[in-house]
Amino acid sequence: MDTRQPGYANVGLDRGRKLAHSFGPMSSEASGHRPLTRSGEGPTPLARGLRLFVPTGAIIAIMFALWQLFAASSGLEIRRTQIGNTPVSVFRLPGGAPAPAVIIAHGFAGSQKLMEPFAVTLAQSGYVAVTFDFAGHGFNPNALAGGLVDRNARAQRLLPELDKVIAYAKSLPGVDGRVALLGHSMASDLVARDAKARTDIAATVTISLFSPEPDATGPRNLLVVVGAIEDPHLMKEAYRAVSVATGGPVEAGVTYGRFEDGTARRVAIAPGVEHIAVLFSATSLKEARDWLNAVFSRDQTGLIDARGWWFLLLFGGLLVLARPLTRLLPVVAQAPRGANLTWRPLLLVAVAPVILTPLILWASPVNTLPLLLGEYLYFHFAVYGLVTFATLRLVRWWKAIPAPPPASVSLWRFGLAFAAIAAYGLFAIGWPADHFVSSVAPIEPRVPLILAMAAGTAVYFVADEWLVRGLKPLRGAYALTKACFLVSLALAVALNPPRLFFLMIASPIMVAMFVVYGLISRWAFNRTNEPLAAALANAIIFAWAIATTFPIIG
């Protein structure tokens, strides 16, 4: 097909005129034609009202959510310090009576900020709550040892750090000498080990326990909290940790043993949550507080910092606000650019990397970046993108599909659109994520890792955005290609579960990011006609998130 035929070129110009009419006039420099106007026509009163109401409502939702999130810790004294290179935070009510200290430890690829709901909840109930960043995590520059497979090597590296924090907590003024430990996921193993080895730990709370450490001898007064929709193995381990001490079957929500002699144990199930959301569940927070109150014979209660719903309101408002903001982006290309495929060839291109990428990386394992699991994601993104490009070219040749018509692109407008999209993702969405969810602000050792990671994510996002965009983008194509990418990760985990199993635990976060930034990239394309501006912005955002959350290894 001759792409120079007037009828083919006019398809792009027609859509360009529609976009200009919908979103505002397009300059002659970018469009090559005068904006389309129709005498006597304009937005209806309802459309004008919605254009005003939607951003106004989004801003109100954002402000209300921020107010609620900040209010949870109001009245608390929060002190940030360091023990060597270990960042530590202390949460307490000012002027309170002497109280037990609760040391709160995060899991793999987490940070002390991720555990803040427990710190705030327990501090509001009169405890002295202490959080910290393990080596390789958050703002701790020290490297993590042991990886994911060798739990003994990991424990040898991290247990001394935990002991240092316990000693620091016991020395704090206002601590009455009694201590409890609380740990999530990876840290559930660490706190269970430490509590069994020490005689001064009165209680242990484990969230998403996977450790085989709990047995009939310890730890003392053990509560096991698990999300109702977590991995079934974690649910099984929760029941085992209690039944091994009782000698028989157990039920969730029932306390066995006696607090007085340290034999108390209990399984608590947080409804409707998985491995990450269990940390924000009101059930998890209340069970932990009530368990410690029972152990220490206390009855003081306070606010439960179940901030999950406020997260949804905050980030939902930021997503809704992004749509009208994309209308302010410059029009970059004369006509919509992209692969411009129909469903059949698009399916061929979408499916090939799903199978080939895990096989290629399984046959040739690589370890380049000092970022545990992050280095695998780097190569998975890069290889997936390269296979997509190669398959697209092969399918075009095989099916004799013509290349899309050329469209002039304004480079300075492209740069402006890219910068605006990236800034919204990194700062408007990134700042509250860093402040209320988990550490994503990079420390110095992570900056070069962000740049290196972006080289891999850029290949994938450029290939994917180009594949699903064009003169007539196919509805649902973007969701399909992202589902394909997640399936390829699942296949990779199946080929090497000991090394990569955590990728499936982290998959809900990746799904959420694909949804949020996928919608923003679609709205940006509808305005700019250019898929690569959002593609490069998403590449930077994903590289930033991966390089600041996965542990640094030596």
Tell me phi and psi for residue 207, to 5 degrees.
-110, 125
At 149, the pLDDT band (50, 70, 90 cuts) reads low
Mean pLDDT of the chain: 90
Identify the pLDDT of residue 29: 38
At 504, the pLDDT band (50, 70, 90 cuts) reads confident
Q: Note whether 12 and 405 are within 8 A (CB).
A: yes
pLDDT at 108 over 80: yes
Rounded Cα gap, residues 391 and 345, in angstroms: 10
Instruction: Calculate mean pLDDT across residues 296-318.
Output: 96
Question: What's the burial of 177, exposed, middle or buried (CB within 10 Å: 0-12/13-18/19+)?
Answer: exposed
Identify the pLDDT of residue 198: 96
Rounded Cα gap, residues 274 and 106, in angstroms: 16
Identify the pLDDT of residue 293: 98
Q: Note whether 303 and 124 are within 8 A (CB).
A: yes
Residue ranges in 35-133 assigned as alpha helix (H): 45-71, 116-124
Identify the pLDDT of residue 161: 97
Count of alpha carbons within 13 angstroms of residue 360, beta-carbon side: 18
Q: Which range is least confidently modeled, 304-308, 402-406, 458-462?
A: 402-406
Strand 175-184 relative to strand 222-227, pairing: unpaired
pLDDT at 268 over 80: yes
Rounded Cα gap, residues 141 and 551, in angstroms: 10
Rounded Cα gap, residues 487 and 351, in angstroms: 10
Q: Which range is least confidently modeled, 145-154, 253-262, 361-370, 479-488?
A: 145-154
Question: What's the burial of 228, exposed, middle or buried (CB within 10 Å: 0-12/13-18/19+)?
Answer: middle
DSSP element (H, E) containing 460: helix 447-468
Identify the pLDDT of residue 42: 62
Q: In Å, what is the CA distance from 499 to each residue of 143, 258, 502?
A: 18, 40, 8
pLDDT at 241 over 90: yes
pTM of the model: 0.89
At a CB cut-off of 8 Å and minimum separation 6, what does 456 contact? 377, 378, 379, 380, 381, 382, 385, 543
The single-letter code of the amino acid at 177 is G
Set out the domains of the chain in order of their start, with CATH numbers: 7-63+310-549 (no CATH), 75-305 (3.40.50.1820)
Q: Note whether 87 and 133 are within 8 A (CB).
A: yes
> In a 3-state reduction of DSSP, which class is residue 223?
strand
Rounded Cα gap, residues 451 and 409, in angstroms: 26
Instruction: Calculate mean pLDDT across residues 236-259.
Output: 96
DSSP element (H, E) containing 267: strand 265-270
Instruction: Calculate mean pLDDT across residues 331-337.
Output: 94
Question: What's the burial of 42, exposed, middle or buried (CB within 10 Å: 0-12/13-18/19+)?
Answer: exposed
